[in-house]
Amino acid sequence: MVVGDGHLNSATGGKDQDSSLAPSDPQRYAPAAEGSSASIDAIAHRIQESLSVSKRHRFWETQPVGQFKDLGDASLTEGQIEPPSALSEVKQEPYNLPVPYEWTTCDIDDDGTAAEIYNLLANNYVEDDDNMFRFNYSKEFLRWALRPPGYFKTWHIGVRVRATKKLVGFITGVPARIRARSEVVLMAEVNFLCVHKKLRSKRLAPVLIKEVTRRVHLENMWQAAYTAGVVLPTPVATCQYWHRSLNPKKLIDVGFSRLGARMTMSRTIRLYKLPASPATPGFRKMELRDVPAVTRMLREYLSRFVVAPDLDEKDVEHWLLPREDVVDSFLVESPENHDITDFCSFYTLPSSILNNANYSNLKAAYSYYNVATKTPLLQLMNDLLIVAKQKDYDVFNALDVMENESFLKELKFGPGDGMLHYYLYNYRLRQPFDAFRTWIGTLVGSLL
C-alpha cells in the first residue's frame, strides 16, 4: 500500500552507516537516536526543546493533526479531530496561486504528461542529505502508484508556469481503507509532493497541500495518511531504514557504503555472497490465480496490528501481482497439498547516482509485505534476497516495521542513516504505541 512521502518527504532510505563491517561487530547494529528504544514522547520532547518558537512547524500547528503538546493527554478522544463539514461548505474553486502559476490536473495515462511528471521528480525529488542519490521513479511505477482501485484523476495535481506551461509542482492523493484499531476509515494517501528546486522559496508546498486537501474533501473524505523523512507534528510511528548489500563493490564505489576497518574488498564480497537459488520447496512467483489465497493470508496477518490497510482482492491484485521492474511477489505452495503457506514481496525504486563518473543508477529493492506461516521468516527473506540478487539489484532495503527486526541482523542488513515517520491527518491515536510494529504497508518510501 503506497503511503506518501515528498516534501513531506520520505527519505531515500539514507546510506548504509557501515555495510562492510563484519556481522559480529556490535557497532554495526547500534540503534540510532530514534531507534526502537525511543518513545514518540521522547522524540517529540527532544525536537521541541531544540526548536526556537520561530522555527516550529507553523503550518502544521494550524492543521488537524496530533500536536506534540498533546502527547500523553488522556482526556483527548481517539478518532477524528475535526468533524466533517457539509459538502456545500467545501471551497468549490481552487486556492489562489502566485500570479505566474496555474493549476493543472495531470493525466498519468497520457505519455507526454507522464514524461513531464517523471522529469520533474527525477530532477527535483527526494535526495539524501549529502546530495549523492535521488529517487528515480519510473513512469511504470508512477502509473502503478497513482491508479489503485477507485482512484480519482482530480487528485493528481500539478502547478505549471502560466507563460510556458512548464510543470514545476506536483502532489497526489489516492484513496485507501485504513484500519485504526477496530475502525476502518476511508482515507487519502498523500504522496509525491515536489516543487522545482528553483521555486522552493515561493511557498508553493503549503498551497499544494491545501489544494489536495480541498479535492479530497469534495469526495467526502476527511482523513489522510502520509509519511515524511523529517519530524512533523506528530508521528504515529517511526521506523529506521536498514540495507543489505547485494553488490557491495558498486555500493562502496559510489559512496553508499564504505569498506570497513580490517576488511578487504574480496572479504566484503564473500561476506555478502548468497546461494545461487532459493532453498524453500514450492517457492514460486505469484500468479493471478493466487490473489484470493494471498488476500486471506494478508488480512489475517494484518489483523494483529493497531494500524494497517484494509485490503480486499482488488487491492491485492493491483498492489502485489508482479509487474516487471515495479513489484515482485513470491509465495510458497506446499508440494503436498498445494496450499499457499507463505508470501513475500519487494518493489523496485532505483535512485540516480549523482556526480559519479562510473555509475548513474542504483537499483534498489524495497521490502514490501511478508507473511510467514509455515516457512521461517528468516528463510523466506533469504530466498527473497537470492531472487533480488539474481535480478541484478544492488541493494535490498527494509524498514524495521512489522516483524522485520527478527531477520535484519541475521541476514546481514546494516542500519542506514534514514528514518521514516508515519502520520495521520485529522485522526488521533490517543496513546503512542510500538512504532515499529503497528503501521503496515510502507512503499514509498515509500513510494511510497
pTM of this prediction? 0.86
CA 125 – CA 35 distance, rounded (Å): 26
pLDDT band, residue 56 (cuts 50/70/90)? low
Output the pLDDT for position 145.
97
Q: How far apart are CA 431 and CA 73, in angstroms?
A: 8
Residue with cell 503497528: 438
Per-residue pLDDT tens over the stretch 361-395:
999 999 999 999 999 999 999 999 999 999 999 99
Q: What are the chain's domains?
A: 26-42+235-425 (3.40.630.170), 62-225 (3.40.630.30)
Count of Cβ atoms closer than 10 Å to residue 50 Cβ? 8
C-alpha distances in angstroms, 25 versus 94, 360, 382? 55, 31, 21
Q: How far is CA 224 from CA 62, 152, 186, in A?
A: 16, 15, 8
- Of residues 141 and 41, more confidence is placed in 141
| Residue of 419, 436, 397, 425 whose CA lies nearest to 128 | 419
Alpha-carbon distance of 346 to 364, in angstroms, equals: 10
308-328 mean pLDDT:
97
Pairwise pLDDT comparison (140 vs 31), residue with the higher score: 140
Mind giving me the DSSP string for 102-117? EEEE--TTSHHHHHHH
Q: According to the model, what pLDDT value does residue 44 have?
A: 46
Single-letter amino acid code for the residue at 105:
T
Whether 174 and 146 have beta carbons less than 8 Å apart is answered as yes
Residue for grid cell 506551461: 165
pLDDT class for 219, splitting at 50, 70, 90? very high
Secondary structure, 3-state, 251-320: HHHCCCCCCCCCCCHHHHHHHCCCCCCCCCCCEEECCHHHHHHHHHHHHHHHCCCCEEECCCHHHHHHHH
Tell the residue number behind the cell numbers 491515536, with chain if given.
429
Contact (Cβ atoms closer than 8 angstroms) between residue 405 and residue 373: no
Give long-range contacts, CB 8 A cutoff, 24+ apart: 179-183. 179/302, 179/307, 179/308, 179/309, 179/310, 180/78, 180/306, 180/307, 180/424, 180/427, 180/429, 181/78, 181/306, 181/307, 181/429, 183/79
Residue 52 has pLDDT above 70, yes or no: no
Q: How far apart are the first and last CA of the chain?
A: 8
Q: What is the pLDDT of residue 430?
A: 74
Are residues 274 and 386 in contact, defined by beta-carbon separation less than 8 angstroms?
A: yes
pLDDT score, position 431 = 62
Average pLDDT, whole number, for the chain? 85
- Beta pairing class for 133-135 and 351-353: antiparallel
Rounded to an integer, the average pLDDT of 90-106 is 96
Matching residue, cell 485529522: 426
Tens digit of pLDDT for each residue in 170-210? Answer: 999 999 999 999 999 999 999 999 999 999 999 899 999 99
Q: What is the pLDDT of residues 259-302, one digit of tens each?
A: 988 899 999 999 999 999 999 999 999 999 999 999 999 999 99
pLDDT of residue 334: 94
**Closest alpha carbon to 330 in 346, 311, 307:** 346
Taking the C-alpha atoms of residue 108 and residue 124, their distance in angstroms, rounded to an integer, is 18
